[in-house]
Structure formats: structure tokens, C-alpha cells
């Protein structure tokens, strides 16, 4: 190397550009130089007993034990005194309990299947959460005499990972010279997930992330200050939970932006099933951030739960009263979007579950299974039904009103009909995949520009479908839009005025269809349109084209048109949505967080028998329609 090149290299790595270069460059080339040796294969009784102690099965003392576990046990048992010495029966019972936990024959012997399972990579949190609850660093730092001064710490440890996570964030300079289940998901999930990750990275790199955070920051802080009612087990008192990947504790294997995107995706997956908004916050003081995340190796960040190199413990979460920390072992072969290695998104989803208050489950198809499950795919996975219900038991389900609800029906080239249910709210929409009984992965999406030419906050949608008429209309205010499903856009020359397109019959005393409708419904039983406004229903004769208002006897009161089966089932005025479900072959009404069903509805009933039952909560039938960001 020439002198000039050497000087230039020294200059670069002694400026702020060095850190930026380190964070942004792709480090895949590092992998070929790494020596991966799994020291965590369990082949001896001593190693097996270490596993039993670490994960909460042995609560007694092994005399020969030294090192991290002895330190942890001594701290955790200060109040009750040191644990008693283990007997042979203690050890056998611990083995049996471990085997029961993982659905193995409880022999109490360290047979090959048991040793093989103990050798699997897994979460570092104990299986019995009450057995070994590693203390958060923020509390350890408050212990008298534990922390001297920062210089002492740096000189004593001699490497950056010796400092605590919050010390790293608060600007402590490192020592000079040290480098600062579930069935398979639908096919669209993997491609949508990949696009979402790419878009998140792109928004970080082009500055859009910072711009958006600046715009929402005051609202973000205000919502975090507003405390909601907190029930037992809830970790966070606000409906907005912030998180941050610590800049001085990145992984050495992936670009910093890739790591951030993978973590954001993990949070989003939980945000799609509970009424919490997760937001990456790179601006707030560190003590105001709810969840801090860092990568480390071995004795990292003064955490008592030491990492053990490749294999063994992958990560762990430290749950506190109102915040949490997540640590990931950087000795693992971490990947994103690959079928090889340890998938960072999968690991992060598990640890975020702990941060939210979930414990380990013992079904290998659950993301909260302690062992890194091979049953769950690396990339195309979703939260299972039980995982959703467990976290919703703590935080509740997502609720909220909708502007309109409808089945979007298209005819395939083979003549068959395909459809899904769409829920519109303000400027967003969700597609509900009825066959999977949940929203499409990655939703909600913005109405603009996804629905080309439509406005936000529409009043209603209707699909008029007769022998000679097949048209989809959206309504808002004084206007309506004809939507071309083949070209996927609003038709030319639209919007038009409702007063022009849905007029009264000439010579009659009937009114035009009013503006600002509440909802609209095409009744396939008589092939007519029914518009809802306030407490009235307007019946429109589709066969008369633009001059079909109104059928004899209309407008009528909603309660007359749709009588209730019981007094408590009476339909309210000012409905949000009325729609026909092709899945259920039934008619539904929505207002607020509730829905009603026309249990008298039969598609071939020309007499139009109506009988209303309800109300029920929308979330009890259509699951997990959640907002995921501010």
C-alpha cells in the first residue's frame, strides 16, 4: 500500500464518514471469513445440567458450577439466600419436566432425543418465567457501588460490548481503536413482505423516513403522553409504542438499514393483530424510547444473561414495568430474506412477543416456541391463531368504524367468479381474504394511488349486476364514480353528480337520490338499488336507467323496510355500510364497531323477506383489521 493510500485510509476512518461507511456497506463478505463452530452441542451431563439451570428447570445449586450462571443465581437469590445443593432426584425431575415441556416421554434420562433437543438453537429467556428473571440493566446500574465511573468501566473491560446499552446510547465514547405454526401463507405474502422491506430501506436512504418522523413527531409524543387504561399483563401504558436499534450496537453482518427494516417488519406483524401502533423513533431521548434493541457477543452490555457463541442462545428480551430491551447474539449467522441461517425477522418477532408480555408456548408451530422452530418457514410465515389470541388476551382486539364494506367481484378467464371483502376507512383500505379468515398481509394500504381516481373517505360502494348491466360505483358527497375493474381505474368523464345520474321518474313527485348518502345496496333479489340516508331507505328502479327514483312506497323508514327479530336488534339511523357477502350469501349492516345481519335474506327470495338480528361486534366476525402506523 502506498503512503498516500495509507494516509487517506487513516483519514477516512478517523472522520464521521467512517461510521456511516461501516453502517451502510453490505457485509455479506464477512461471512466467508467467519469460523462457525457450534460449542453448544449438548453431549455431556454437565452441559445438560447447565441447560436445565439456564432455562429454569433446576433451581438448586451444582457445586461445580462457576461463571455466569453462578453470578446470575447469586444475584437472583439475594433475598432468599443461596439455593440448596441439587440431589440426584432434583436433576432427574428437572429432566422429566424438560421432557414434558417439549412433549417427550418423561423418562428422567438424558437419552439421545433429549440431548438433541437441548442442542437446538433457542431463545435465551427461561421456559419458566418465574424461575430466572434476569434483571434489566437500568436497575442494575442503580445498585450502590455497581457503577463507578465511565473511564473505569472502559479501562477495566477493554472493549465496547462491556458498556450497558443505555450508556452506549447516551454517548459514552468507546475505547480508542475499538470498532464502535400456522399453515403456509398465501403466495402473495412473501413478495409483499420483500417489497415492504425494500420500501422501508429505500425510505431510510432517501430521507423520507426522517421527513415523515419530523411531521408526526409532535403527535407521536402527544399520543405517548396520553395514558390508556392498562390491564394486568400489559407492558405499555400508551397505544403508541416506540422502538430503536441502537446505533452503536449494530450487527456486523447486515447493513444497518437492513437491520432496521427487519425489526420494523417484526413490530408490524404484531401491530397487525392488536390495537398498538409501533413506531421507530430515532429522535426522542433514549429514556423515552419504549423498546431498545442491540446486538452483542458473549458478555454484552453488562447483561447477566451472557451469549454463548454460535448456536445455543440466539437472543433474549428483558421486560421491565413500562419498557423493554431486546438483545441478539451477533455470533449467529443472521440473515434477512434467505432460507439459510437464522432469520432476523423470525427471531425479532419472538422477542417482541416477550416485550409485549407473552411467555413461551410449547407448540412448535407457534412463534413463541422457545426453540428456533424448523416448522415455521424463515420468510413466508405469519402469526398463528394461538399467538394472535394470546396477545389479544392482553391488549384486546382492533376495533373501529368503516366508511364502506363490499365484496369486489371479478370474473376469471375461465368464467369463475373470484372475490374478497374490502374495508375502507378514511384514506386506507384492507382486503379481507375470506378463505384464510384474516386480512391480507401488508394491509392497510392507501386508497390513493391504489384505487386510481378515487377520493378518500368514500360514502358507499355498489355493484349493479343484472342481465344487461354490470357496473361498479363509488359515492361521496354530491358525486359518484364509475370504476373500470378491467383497467383498474375510474372511467373517463367521472366523477358525475348524483343528482344527474340518479334522478326522479319524470312527472312524479319523487325526489332525486339525495347527496351525502350513508350507504347503498344492490339487492339481487329484485335487482334494484337501495340508498340509505339518515333514517330513510330510497328504492331505485335500475331498469329505468338514470330516472329510477323511486319505487312505489319509498322512501321508507329503515325500521319498516328491515324489521328486527327482537327489540334489541333494531337498526339505527345513519348507517356506515350495507353489503352483500358472497361468502355467507347474506346481507350485513354496519355502524360504529357493530354489525347486524339480515337473517331473513335469501338470494332467490323475490318477496324480499327481511328480518334483522344483532348487534354483534365487527371484530368478532372479521378479525384483526388493524391500523399499523400513524
**Cell 407521536 identifies what position?**
220
Provide CB contacts within 8 A for 448, sequence distance 6+.
Answer: 427, 454, 455, 456
User: Is-contact 172 166, C-beta < 8 A?
Assistant: no
User: Is-contact 175 167, C-beta < 8 A?
Assistant: no
The H or E element that residue 409 is part of is strand 404-411
User: Is-contact 160 348, C-beta < 8 A?
Assistant: no
- Cell numbers placing 522: 344492490
User: Is-contact 362 101, C-beta < 8 A?
Assistant: yes
SS3 191: helix
Report how far residue 383's alpha carbon sits from residue 366's, in angstroms, rounded to the nearest whole number.
8
Considering only CA atoms, give the Rg of the chain: 30
Provide CB contacts within 8 A for 269, sequence distance 6+.
Answer: 349, 382, 383
Beta strands at 313-319 and 291-296: parallel, antiparallel or unpaired: unpaired
Q: How far apart are the first and last CA of the chain?
A: 52
Report how far residue 154's alpha carbon sits from residue 176's, in angstroms, rounded to the nearest whole number.
10
Q: For residue 218, which phi and psi values (nearest 5 degrees)?
A: -65, -40
- Cell numbers placing 189: 405474502
Q: Of residues 167, 332, 351, 561, which has the active-site annotation?
A: 351
SS3 549: strand
Provide CB contacts within 8 A for 437, sequence distance 6+.
Answer: 623
* Cα→Cα distances 78→81, 318, 534, Å: 5, 20, 68
- Cell numbers placing 277: 401502533
Instruction: Give me the residues paired with residue 482 across strands.
Output: 473
Provide CB contacts within 8 A for 251, sequence distance 6+.
Answer: 259, 295, 328, 330, 334, 344
CA 101 to chain centre: 27
| Catalytic residue check, 129 | no
Q: Which of 376, 359, 390 is nearest to 56 (CA)?
A: 359
DSSP-derived secondary structure letter, 163: S
Residues in the chain, overall count: 630
- Cell numbers placing 40: 453448544
User: Is-contact 539 577, C-beta < 8 A?
Assistant: no
Q: How many Cβ atoms are within 10 Å of 349's Cβ, its own excluded?
A: 25
- Cell numbers placing 84: 440448596
**Cell 391463531 identifies what position?**
385
Q: Which of 371, 429, 388 is nearest to 51 (CA)?
A: 371
Residues designated as active site: 351
Amino acid at each position: 500500500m502506498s503512503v498516500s493510500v495509507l494516509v487517506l485510509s487513516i483519514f477516512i476512518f478517523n472522520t464521521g464518514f467512517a461510521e456511516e461507511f461501516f453502517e451502510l456497506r453490505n457485509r455479506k463478505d464477512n461471512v466467508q471469513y467467519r469460523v462457525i463452530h457450534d460449542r453448544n452441542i449438548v453431549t455431556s451431563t454437565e452441559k445438560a445440567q447447565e441447560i436445565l439451570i439456564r432455562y429454569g428447570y433446576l433451581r438448586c445449586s451444582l457445586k461445580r458450577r462457576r461463571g455466569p450462571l453462578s453470578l446470575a443465581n447469586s444475584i437472583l437469590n439475594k433475598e432468599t439466600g443461596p439455593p440448596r445443593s441439587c440431589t440426584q432426584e432434583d436433576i432427574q425431575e428437572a429432566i422429566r419436566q424438560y421432557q414434558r415441556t417439549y412433549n417427550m416421554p418423561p423418562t428422567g434420562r438424558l437419552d439421545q432425543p433429549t440431548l438433541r433437543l437441548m442442542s437446538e438453537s433457542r431463545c435465551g429467556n427461561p421456559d419458566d418465567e418465574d424461575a430466572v428473571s434476569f434483571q434489566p440493566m437500568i436497575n442494575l446500574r442503580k445498585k450502590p457501588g455497581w457503577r463507578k465511573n465511565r473511564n473505569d468501566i472502559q479501562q477495566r473491560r477493554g472493549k465496547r460490548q462491556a458498556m450497558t446499552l443505555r450508556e452506549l446510547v447516551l454517548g459514552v465514547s468507546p475505547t480508542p481503536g475499538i470498532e464502535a405454526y400456522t399453515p403456509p401463507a398465501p403466495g402473495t405474502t412473501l413478495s409483499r413482505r420483500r417489497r415492504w422491506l425494500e420500501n422501508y430501506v429505500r425510505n431510510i436512504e432517501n430521507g423520507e423516513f426522517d421527513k415523515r418522523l419530523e411531521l408526526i413527531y409532535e403527535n407521536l409524543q402527544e399520543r405517548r403522553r396520553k395514558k390508556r387504561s392498562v390491564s394486568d399483563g400489559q407492558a405499555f401504558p400508551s397505544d403508541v409504542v416506540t422502538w430503536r436499534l441502537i446505533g452503536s450496537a449494530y450487527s456486523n453482518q447486515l447493513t444497518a438499514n437492513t437491520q432496521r427494516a427487519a425489526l420494523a417488519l417484526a413490530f408490524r406483524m404484531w401491530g397487525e393483530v392488536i390495537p398498538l401502533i409501533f413506531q421507530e423513533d430515532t429522535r426522542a431521548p433514549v429514556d423515552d424510547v419504549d423498546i431498545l434493541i442491540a446486538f452483542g457477543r458473549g458478555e454484552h452490555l453488562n447483561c447477566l444473561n451472557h451469549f454463548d457463541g454460535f448456536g445455543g442462545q440466539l437472543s433474549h428480551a428483558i421486560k421491565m414495568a413500562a419498557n423493554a430491551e431486546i438483545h441478539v447474539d451477533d455470533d449467529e449467522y443472521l440473515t434477512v430474506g434467505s432460507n439459510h441461517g437464522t432469520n432476523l425477522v423470525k427471531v425479532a418477532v419472538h422477542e417482541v412477543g416477550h416485550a409485549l408480555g407473552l411467555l413461551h408456548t410449547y407448540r412448535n408451530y407457534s412463534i413463541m416456541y422457545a426453540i428456533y422452530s424448523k416448522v415455521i418457514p424463515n420468510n413466508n410465515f405469519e402469526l398463528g391463531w394461538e399467538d394472535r389470541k394470546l396477545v389479544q388476551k392482553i391488549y384486546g382486539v382492533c376495533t373501529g368504524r368503516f366508511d364502506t364494506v363490499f365484496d369486489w367481484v371479478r370474473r376469471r378467464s375461465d368464467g369463475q367468479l373470484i372475490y374478497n371483502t374490502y374495508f375502507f376507512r378514511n384514506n386506507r383500505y384492507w382486503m379481507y381474504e375470506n378463505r384464510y379468515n384474516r386480512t391480507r398481509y401488508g394491509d392497510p394500504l392507501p386508497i390513493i394511488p391504489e384505487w386510481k381516481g378515487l377520493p378518500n373517505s368514500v360514502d358507499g360502494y355498489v355493484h349493479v349486476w343484472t342481465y344487461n348491466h354490470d357496473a361498479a360505483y363509488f359515492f361521496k358527497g354530491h358525486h359518484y364514480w364509475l370504476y373500470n375493474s378491467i383497467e383498474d381505474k375510474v372511467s373517463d368523464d367521472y366523477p358525475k353528480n348524483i343528482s344527474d345520474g340518479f334522478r326522479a321518474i319524470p312527472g312524479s313527485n319523487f325526489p332525486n337520490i339525495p347527496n351525502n348518502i350513508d350507504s347503498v345496496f344492490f339487492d339481487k333479489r329484485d335487482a334494484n338499488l337501495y340508498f340509505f340516508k339518515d333514517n330513510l331507505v330510497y328504492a331505485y328502479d335500475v331498469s329505468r336507467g338514470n330516472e329510477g327514483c323511486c319505487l312505489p312506497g319509498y322512501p321508507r323508514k329503515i325500521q319498516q323496510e328491515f324489521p328486527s327479530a327482537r327489540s334489541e336488534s333494531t337498526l339505527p339511523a345513519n348507517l356506515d355500510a350495507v353489503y352483500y357477502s358472497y361468502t355467507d350469501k347474506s346481507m350485513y349492516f354496519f355502524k360504529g364497531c357493530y354489525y347486524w345481519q339480515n337473517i331473513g335474506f335469501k338470494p332467490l327470495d323475490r318477496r324480499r323477506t327481511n328480518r334483522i338480528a344483532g348487534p354483534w361486534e365487527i371484530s368478532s366476525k372479521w378479525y384483526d383489521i388493524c391500523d399499523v402506523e400513524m
